[in-house]
Amino acid sequence: MRTAIDPATAAGLVPDGASVMVGGFMGVGSPHRIIDALVARGARGLTIIANDTARPGVGIGKLISAGCVARAVVSHIGTNPETQKRMIAGEIAVDLVPQGTLAERIRAAGAGLGGVLTRTGIGTLVADGKVVLRVGGEDFLVEEALGADVALLAARTADYSGNLAYALTARNFNPLMAMAAKLVIAEPDEIVPVGVLPPDAVHTPGVVIHHLLERRRHG
């Protein structure tokens, strides 16, 4: 069984200066209520690991605009002029990582791998300072595992034991990040009793989830 916590409690579990994985792709599949609570508590100095910084006012874009973020490890920032502005002003450091490499580095951390060998980035700025290994007559970059202190996820459905199922393109980085952080908090659209999700429909086993966000309360 997992316990359900409220957004302020969840935000309180994310210390200033922590490295934080945030699920989502342009805000789709991001844990919006936890993000709002992080902004409300005035989080500072976070290293955000995510696909992108969405747009101003959307998802991770809110963390950027509120000044919560010191560093962003992402595959692109082109959709958020605010991130670009703060990067140029020296307020946010940005590490750009090819999207597939970002996915594999996060997965590697969750799977106990030291890293993976990839063609992506060979002959580009991405290869600077990295080890190149020759396998089967071809050069591969060694890309190291990337873990985090905290992962903040969104899911379509959770059961009481923390098993998660995602919907459509809101899945994206969420199942990878679920495995790759020391503390994992998931914000599901709905929470159902144990046994409602069939074993083959679960995308993330509940054993890796530490907390669920309580369901949204009305009026």
How far, in Å, CA of 92 to CA of 192, rounded?
39
Sign, CA torsion 73/156/200/168:
negative
47 binds another protein (CB under 8 A): no
From 194, 201, 215, 216, residue interacting with a copy of itself (rule: CB under 8 A):
201
Q: Exposed, middle or buried, 97 (CB in 10 Å: 0-12/13-18/19+)?
A: buried
- Site size toward a copy of itself (CB under 8 A) is 29
Please report, as residue ranges, which positions from 131 to 160 form the binding site for another protein (by CB under 8 A): 156, 159-160
4 binds another protein (CB under 8 A): no
Candidate segments 9-17, 35-43, 46-54, 130-138, binder of another protein by CB under 8 A: 46-54
Q: Which does 136 bind (CB under 5 to 8 A by kind): a copy of itself, another protein, none?
A: a copy of itself
Local structure of residue 58 (DSSP, 8 states)? S
* 147: β partners: none
Q: Which does 54 bind (CB under 5 to 8 A by kind): another protein, a copy of itself, none?
A: another protein
Minimum distance from residue 195 beta carbon to another protein (Å): 3
| DSSP helix/strand/coil, 174 | helix
Radius of gyration of the chain (CA): 18
168 binds a copy of itself (CB under 8 A): yes
112 binds a copy of itself (CB under 8 A): yes
How far, in Å, CA of 96 to CA of 160, rounded?
37
How far, in Å, CA of 140 to CA of 4, rounded?
44
Minimum distance from residue 85 beta carbon to a copy of itself (Å): 34
